[in-house]
Amino acid sequence: MKKLDIIRTYYEANMAKDLPEYGILGWESEEAQRLRFDMLLSAVDLEGMELLDVGCGTGNLLEHIISKGINVEYTGVDLLDKMIDRAKSKGLAGEFIHADIFEDRIFENESFDVIYTSGIFNLDLGNNIDFLKRAIGLFLDLSWQYVVFNLLHRDSPDREDKYFYTSPDEVGELLEEYSDRIENVQFIEAYLKNDFTVVIRKKREAD
């Protein structure tokens, strides 16, 4: 099964159920989803920045940012049109786009200050390391300051076969391929028992 088919099948099945939005997105609780968003907010001062939210789902990140009184120029993109339709229906002050940015380059390089994604690497797609490496390369192209994403931790006590797990050490080794493009990397752990966040500060050409 292709990557898009795996993702579509999983999330459309969730949307067909009577689940709260955090459940549709596969999170264990609203609090867990909020904590993941807070790791982004704690790592990067988003005020006035242009933010691309990859795999934006139903717009929960933008709702969280607005609730914190932070002003951003927000763009959300998602593979699933039903997710985008629901996000648009909320009337939030942001742009929501239905697209697969891994197949269609709809944005120019360095179009955004920050690229953020939460959860898109969680499902076991059979080639997650290759997908992660490719995604990081794309995100570094599209961002001119930060790339922030989360992953499920290999040491999670509640592992399930349908998910992909890794570790900060493994991601650190993967990032060595992009060392000439990265100023520094921060790994944030211990906010949840099954998760960690990666914060990449991109190296500027003038640096």
pLDDT tens sequence across 165-182: 999 999 999 999 999 999
Lookup: tokens for 87: 């996000």
φ/ψ (deg, to 5) at 91: 70, 30
pLDDT at 111 over 80: yes
| Global pTM exceeds 0.95 | no
Could you tell me the residue ranges of all domains in the chain? 3-202
Higher-scoring residue by pLDDT: 125, 23: 125
Q: What is the pLDDT of residue 24?
A: 72
Cα Rg of the chain (Å, integer)? 16
CA–CA gap between residue 137 and residue 130 (Å, rounded): 11
pLDDT in tens, 60-80: 999 999 999 999 999 999 999
CA–CA gap between residue 92 and residue 63 (Å, rounded): 8
Tell me the average pLDDT of the chain: 91
DSSP secondary structure code for residue 60 in this structure: H
φ/ψ (deg, to 5) at 89: -65, -15
Higher-scoring residue by pLDDT: 1, 115: 115
Nearest to 152 by CA among 130, 124, 111, 176: 124
Class of domain 3-202: alpha beta
Please, are residues 106 and 138 in contact by the beta-carbon 8 Å criterion? Answer: no
Query: What band does 206 get if pLDDT is binned at 50, 70 and 90?
Result: low
Query: What band does 3 get if pLDDT is binned at 50, 70 and 90?
Result: low
Q: Is the dihedral of CA 54, 57, 59, 65 positive or negative?
A: negative
Least confident of 11-15, 83-87, 114-118, 136-140: 11-15
Q: What is the pLDDT of residue 141?
A: 97
Percent of the chain with pLDDT over 70: 96
Which residues have CB under 8 Å from 158's CB, separation 6+? 193, 194
pLDDT in tens, 137-156: 999 999 999 999 999 999 99
Q: What is the pLDDT of residue 81?
A: 92
Mean per-residue pLDDT for 93-110? 95
Mean per-residue pLDDT for 50-55? 97
Q: What is the pLDDT of residue 201?
A: 98
